[in-house]
Structure 1
């Protein structure tokens, strides 16, 4: 028996959902962006939003689409979401969110949804609302539409290195290329070019009214160790704060010490801990 009502939410409860998402603006950024763009109506949303709690007091939500994201989920909420989801076929490619909720959710779902390809239990969630004190690289700029063929190989290399599988595997990369093209079109893709090649790249993969979340940070292997990343990230943060959102956020694997040092130099501070389960 469910420990509390779990139900699929609709547009009539959008304000309650938005208030809840606003109370956790960094960890829930991906869900907030989707809700802002598509609302909660099942026929136009890119996924389902499940709610935990009675109709007078929404305690937690769980996004179920390409990924599964619990938001502000207590242990009781996790148990209720897991009980409902364990009866469904897994369609998501990852579970991501606050570490305690994600790891407990995965513990409850692993028996029916497993195995996972990778579990990353400790991913520091970082944010800043201040301009970096370090120098910004003037050669880092927004990528132009005509430069998709230059950016795409770097994006594929970053994805393969970070996720562990190639984005070209499923459909020859058509879907991923559309995603990269959209990042360029919407003014969210940054790069530094040297002799027609990308040596640094990053995207504002998620944008809400509260934060711009950076993903896809990558330095070409032959340029690593030269100290370009700090100034390059500073350029991204400065532009994002000036042009896009009041804060910039990101999350990083705990073992990626070089990246964590770069982010610290750019003014990022710890605001939480996420975890990711990859399928």
Structure 2
């Protein structure tokens, strides 16, 4: 049996929050292990993240709130952790975060901030967060010098107290399987949740994948050829492909997957129905 978690993001408007509440209510019917909520570090984005957590909480969901090092002091992040705890959040997804200028820009830690995800993990654990997920990169982080460097960073995060790695989206399922094998060979004892991104619009997802360093295999592109103006068929093919990815991962012993939903509950439901 495969268990699921779903990722949603804070909408920018009050109307979007209403729509998100409806989407989460639909996702809850699929009995996810948790719903993760992405995080905007500054100003109104930060406030909207807290509003989203409250919205998701009202649906009865088990929540995992994102937490990023970028652009924030240790004191700011400690305050965010404490506020999460006050809202009933006991699971965070701890991330370094991308520079405001984009993923290709050099990363510089806040002068008073945590210098690495491992430091953030240790701080969250010390302040009472029970479960901590971190990121994993089957195709290497775009700014990493090597696969070995990536693996060393993951080992540091696990040693600091992380208990799960959620992978970056990956459309090359065999690459994900090879990465899982490398993690196990490295002796890193951490749960692994492959990140699955159901394709709702091939051009948009392909552009996003390229910015994140995720490859788009030619055979995947061929499935969506000629469908750019046919959203219904695109969604159907996207659900079928995501389900095939999950089925292949299940053959390799994976029992939990994380779906990046883009707040689109019907597409996530279609994936689970395919299974």
The reply to whether TM is greater than 0.5 is no
- Please state which structure has a larger fraction of its residues in helix: 2
User: Larger relative CO (CA 8 A, sep 6+): 1 or 2?
Assistant: 1
Larger radius of gyration: 1
Higher strand share: 1
Structure 2 length normalisation: TM-score? 0.29
- TM normalised by structure 1 equals 0.29
